[in-house]
Structures are given as C-alpha cells and as structure tokens.
Amino acid sequence: MTSDPVSAAEFAGVDHVVVDIEGTTSASAFVFDVLFPYATERFPAWLDQHAGEADRERIVAEVASEAGLADPSTDAVVATLRAWVVEDRKATPLKELQGLIWEQGFSDSELVSDFFPDALVALRQWHEAGVPISVYSSGSVLAQRNWYAHSPEGDLTDWIAGHYDTANAGPKREAPSYHAIADAIGVDPSRLLFCSDVVAELDAAREAGWQVVRVRRPGEPHATEDSAYPEVAEMTDIRLA
Ligand SMILES: [Mg+2]
C-alpha cells in the first residue's frame, strides 16, 4: 500500500519515541464506551472485596483527602469516584483504582485492549528497527502495562521501554512533566518525539524542547483543534529519518 506523501511527517535525530494512548494509538471511544463503564460498575464490589488491603486503603484515603470527605464510607467514595468519571477528572486515585479493576478484567480475559491497525504497524516497525518506545498516558502505569500485555495481537510488552503517567511524571499539559520523562529516559529532549492527539500536550512537550507530532484522526474528540504542528492521520505516516 502506498501512502500519500502530503500526509507524511518526517523527523530527524529521534532516539526515542513516546506515545500517548487514548486518541493516538487507540480509539477514545473504546476507553469511554468499554473501559470506563467496566470499572465504574465494579467500584463498590472491588472496594468491599479488598477492604483492609494497603492499595485499597490508600486509594480511599486519597479520594477522601482530594474530595474533602469527612466520612469516607464506601458509598461516599463510590459516589465521588463516579462523579469524577462523569467529569473525566484525571485524579490519581481514580486512575489507580481503574487500573486495578482493569488488570483483573484483562487477566480474566474479559477485556482485550484496542489499537488502531496503523498504530500496531508503526509500533512494530519502530520496535523492529531498534527505536525505543515509551508510553505517556493519564492511564496508570499498571493500566498501560496491561493494555500492552493484552492487545489484539497478544503480549506486546517487550515493545515498550518505559511507562509514564501522572503519578511518576506529572500532568500531561505541563512542560516539567516532559523534562522529568527526558531525565528518566536519559535522552536529550531534542532527540525525543512525542506523538499525541491533544494540542495542549504537544505545547507542553514542545516547551520542554521535544520534537512533536500530532496524530489527528478524523472523528476523535480533539481532531477539531487548530495547531501548526506536523500532523498525520495514521501513525504509519510518521517517518524517522
Ligand atoms: Mg490522547
């Protein structure tokens, strides 16, 4: 298959590629229509089943602290978490709990992750060419690992050199997060390429000195935003020189 040269974007001097998940390698609709409801339905049962366990108690304490709950009963915590889901709040304890519930779903084979076909082709090509790939997503590191371990093409975890989330790197729309990731990877920011669908994230990465490419997929929620960044509709149109 030949691709339209007008749609391709070429990057030189890239030592490491960092990819977003939602809207970039994977359809946002899958996250909203499949994953979020899967976890949301299971908040009460999970909190009951894991009472007294360290992860569970820490998550409840963090929810209570962030929401100002005087009495963090299961009902109050579940109501808070469900309100955060509705407003798509990127709260760390919410992301952690979702990650734990999804991990169970993936290991029980109730869940299989979702990738755009071109994303799998591009990631495979980079991996086989020896280009290290990391993931930076607001989904937790645990959720990211499970995402790649339970793909439609099986376990792809050996394609991924590192995982970054809002807990170990920081918010996705702030430049210091991208400095932190560059430090962790050990590569100069100018030799990192960030692939994302969200212009504000690309702004932050660019401010930190990264190369950036916008993955602008028709129908994705952020596809209507304006930007001057190089962009592609499919990740196979990202060329590393
Ligand atoms: Mg995204």
**Taking residues 19-41, what's their average pLDDT?**
95
Query: Domain 31-107 class?
Result: mainly alpha
pLDDT digits (tens, 9 = 90+) for 45-85: 999 999 999 999 999 999 999 999 999 999 999 999 999 99
Whole-number pLDDT of residue 6? 53
Mean pLDDT of the chain: 94
H-helix or E-strand containing 212? Answer: strand 211-215
207 CA distance to ligand 1 middle (Å): 18
How far is Cα 179 from Cα 34, in angstroms, rounded to an integer? 33
- pLDDT tens readout for residues 85-142: 999 898 999 999 998 999 899 999 899 999 999 999 999 999 999 999 999 999 889 8
In angstroms, the CA 138 to CA 168 distance is 11
Q: Where in the chain is the domain with CATH 3.40.50.1000?
A: 5-26+113-240
- Cβ proximity of 217 and 223 under 8 Å: yes
Q: How far is 51 from 47, CA to CA, in rounded Å?
A: 6
List b or e across 139-148, with b for residues whose CB sees 16 or more CB atoms inside 10 angstroms. bbbbbbbbbb
Q: Output the CA 172–ligand 1 centroid distance in Å.
A: 10
**236 contacts: CB under 8 Å, gap ≥ 6:** 3, 118, 121, 122, 125
CA of 54 to the centre of ligand 1 (A): 31
User: What's the pLDDT at 32?
Assistant: 86
φ/ψ (deg, to 5) at 124: -65, -40
Q: Which ranges in the chain are annotated with CATH 1.10.720.60?
A: 31-107
Is 0.85 topped by the overall pTM? no
Gap from CA of 49 to ligand 1 centroid (Å): 32
Q: What is the mean pLDDT of residues 159-183?
A: 97
Ligand 1 center–CA 198 separation, angstroms: 6
- pLDDT given at position 140: 86
Q: Which CATH superfamily is domain 5-26+113-240 in?
A: HAD superfamily/HAD-like (3.40.50.1000)
Residue 206 φ/ψ, nearest 5 degrees: -65, -40
74 alpha carbon – ligand 1 mean position (Å):
31
pLDDT higher than threshold 70 for residue 3:
no
